[in-house]
């Protein structure tokens, strides 16, 4: 009996030993598997320059296109582990368009979470020195996903433009040259709505009161500013030139602004305005029609808009280019004085052939 009990006890010990060994082995396997999963998820798997890598995912792109962009530029160190994590987090079914800044040392877990969550990095969109809506669309289309054709189509045919009080002729006044933040996958409508928001913010009560004091609407301020922009690239004399045109408007004179003739002719490479151009039939011909043209002749700069709002008060009615070809102008109160200034300039031109 004692021998039988001892045998059973020994058998139980062996069983416990085997079970303990199996448990230890399974635990080791689990730890190893967990470590491998942890490595796939959490170890750094992105190698890019310090400034990061800009990943652009177009609207309607699939997971294959995302992989192609990352793998082609050698952003991912271990491509297999990235695909494994993406699959586990069901990212292929949740690809979101946009611009994503991929940073050096990111793990698969961080990268997939960012892409799956649509955590975009905005892009900076800048435009200035813009002649017309089509040129604007070209500049914007090069910086966000919406192409220039879609932007032009929306701007020229959207009901929103009319509802906001703009026509095709006055539409350039809506856009204020500056640098703005957008999500890269912004479409034409969202771009325009953002510009309307910026327009309303710019035309605050203070600026509207200044415009009203000049007996001008915000669009009329922008129209005059567009002429000032084309007359000079010297910011420090814009307010004086604006004052000349305001004097002419108040006195009921023709503006006689050469840049409006260039716009009317449509030849933006034209170097000199001739007498024949002054006879062209166009509402933009300020040699024939009193007052401001029906809309801006370009998208005016913020500097020129502010120059109109804070125009210099003086008694000048004329100006012409300085004979030193510095880009600055000389101003005159009378026609005879102006003619003398113009003669000096033309003599200087002749001396330079």
One digit per residue, pLDDT tens: the chain, 353 residues? 566 656 666 666 666 666 555 555 554 454 444 445 544 445 999 999 999 999 999 999 999 999 999 999 999 999 999 999 999 999 999 999 999 999 999 999 999 999 999 999 999 999 999 999 999 999 999 999 999 999 999 999 989 999 999 999 999 999 999 999 999 999 999 999 999 999 999 999 999 999 999 999 999 999 999 999 999 999 999 999 999 999 999 999 999 999 999 999 988 877 778 788 888 999 999 999 999 999 999 999 999 999 999 999 999 999 999 999 999 999 999 999 999 999 999 899 888 87
Residue 68 shares a structural domain with residue 107 = yes
Contact 348, 323 (CB under 8 A): yes
User: For the segment 98-140, what is each residue's pLDDT rounded down to a tens digit?
Assistant: 999 999 999 999 999 999 999 999 999 999 999 999 999 999 9
Residue 212 shares a structural domain with residue 272 = yes
For residue 42, what pLDDT is reported? 55
Is residue 101 assigned to a domain? yes
User: For the segment 148-189, what is each residue's pLDDT rounded down to a tens digit?
Assistant: 999 999 999 989 999 999 999 999 999 999 999 999 999 999
Q: Is 76 helix (H, G, I), strand (E, B) or coil?
A: strand
State how far the alpha carbon of 138 is from the alpha carbons of 127, 146, 311, in Å.
10, 10, 32
CATH label of the domain that carries residue 109: 3.30.1490
CB atoms within 10 A of CB 283: 15
Q: Domain ends where: 116, 135, 158?
A: 116
Residue 220 shares a structural domain with residue 196 = no
Is residue 27 assigned to a domain? no
Residue 175 shares a structural domain with residue 211 = no
For residue 119, what pLDDT is reported? 97
Residue 92 shares a structural domain with residue 76 = yes
Domain span at residue 95 reads: 53-116
Report how far residue 261's alpha carbon sits from residue 293's, in angstroms, rounded to the nearest whole number.
Answer: 10
For residue 38, what pLDDT is reported? 47
Residue 306 shares a structural domain with residue 243 = yes
State how far the alpha carbon of 267 is from the alpha carbons of 48, 102, 135, 312, 337, in Å.
47, 46, 15, 31, 31
Contact 218, 230 (CB under 8 A): no
State how far the alpha carbon of 252 is from the alpha carbons of 216, 246, 247, 256, 288, in Å.
14, 10, 9, 12, 13
Is residue 191 assigned to a domain? yes
Residue 135 shares a structural domain with residue 105 = no
Residue 172 shares a structural domain with residue 215 = no
For residue 10, what pLDDT is reported? 64
Q: Is 99 helix (H, G, I), strand (E, B) or coil?
A: strand
Contact 178, 125 (CB under 8 A): no
Residue 269 shares a structural domain with residue 308 = yes
Report how far residue 320's alpha carbon sits from residue 211's, in angstroms, rounded to the nearest whole number.
Answer: 26
Is residue 261 assigned to a domain? yes
> What's the domain count of the chain?
3
Residue 93 shares a structural domain with residue 175 = no
For residue 37, what pLDDT is reported? 52
For residue 274, what pLDDT is reported? 76
Is residue 338 assigned to a domain? no
Is residue 325 assigned to a domain? no
Token pair, residue 249, equals 């408007």
- Write the DSSP symbol of residue 171: G
For residue 270, what pLDDT is reported? 78
For residue 35, what pLDDT is reported? 46
| Residues 6+ positions from 25 with CB-CB distance below 8 Å | none
Nearest to 224 by CA among 206, 201, 250: 250
Q: Domain ends where: 185, 202, 219?
A: 202
Residue 225 shares a structural domain with residue 308 = yes
Q: Is 6 exposed, middle or buried (0-12, 13-18, 19+ CB in 10 A)?
A: exposed
123: enclosing H helix or E strand: strand 123-127
Token pair, residue 132, equals 């017309």
Q: Domain ends where: 156, 180, 202?
A: 202
For residue 280, what pLDDT is reported? 92
Residue 296 shares a structural domain with residue 211 = yes
């Amino acid at each position: 009996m004692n021998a039988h009990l001892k045998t059973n006890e020994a058998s139980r010990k062996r069983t416990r030993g085997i079970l303990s060994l199996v448990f230890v082995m399974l635990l080791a396997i689990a730890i190893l598997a967990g470590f491998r999963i942890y490595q796939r998820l959490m170890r750094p798997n992105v190698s890019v320059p310090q400034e990061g890598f800009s990943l652009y995912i177009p609207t309607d792109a699939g997971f294959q296109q995302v992989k192609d962009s990352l793998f082609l530029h050698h952003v991912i160190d271990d491509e297999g582990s990235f695909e494994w994590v993406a699959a586990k987090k069901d990212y292929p079914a949740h690809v979101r368009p946009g611009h994503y800044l991929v940073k050096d040392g990111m793990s698969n877990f961080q990268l997939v979470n960012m892409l799956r969550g649509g955590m975009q990095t905005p892009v900076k969109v800048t435009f200035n020195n813009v002649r017309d809506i089509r040129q604007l669309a070209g500049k914007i289309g090069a910086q966000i996903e919406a192409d220039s054709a879609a932007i032009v189509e929306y701007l020229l045919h959207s009901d929103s433009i009319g509802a906001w009080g703009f026509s095709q002729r006055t539409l350039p006044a809506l856009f204020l040259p500056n640098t703005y933040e957008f999500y890269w996958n912004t479409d034409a409508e969202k771009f325009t709505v953002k510009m309307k928001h910026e327009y309303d913010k710019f035309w605050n009560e203070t600026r509207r009161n200044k415009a009203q004091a000049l007996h001008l609407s915000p669009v009329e301020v922008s129209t005059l500013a567009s002429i000032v922009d084309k007359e000079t690239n010297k910011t420090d004399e814009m307010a004086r030139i604006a004052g000349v045109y305001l004097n002419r408007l108040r006195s009921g004179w023709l503006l006689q602004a050469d840049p409006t003739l260039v716009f009317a002719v449509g030849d933006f490479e034209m170097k000199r305005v001739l007498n024949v151009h002054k006879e062209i039939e166009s509402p933009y011909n300020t040699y024939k029609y009193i007052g401001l043209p029906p809309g801006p002749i370009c998208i005016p700069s913020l500097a020129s808009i502010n120059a109109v709002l804070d125009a210099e008060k003086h008694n000048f009615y004329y100006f012409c280019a300085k004979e030193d070809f510095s880009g600055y102008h000389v101003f005159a109160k009378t026609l005879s004085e102006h003619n003398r200034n113009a003669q000096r300039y033309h003599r200087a031109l002749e001396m330079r052939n």
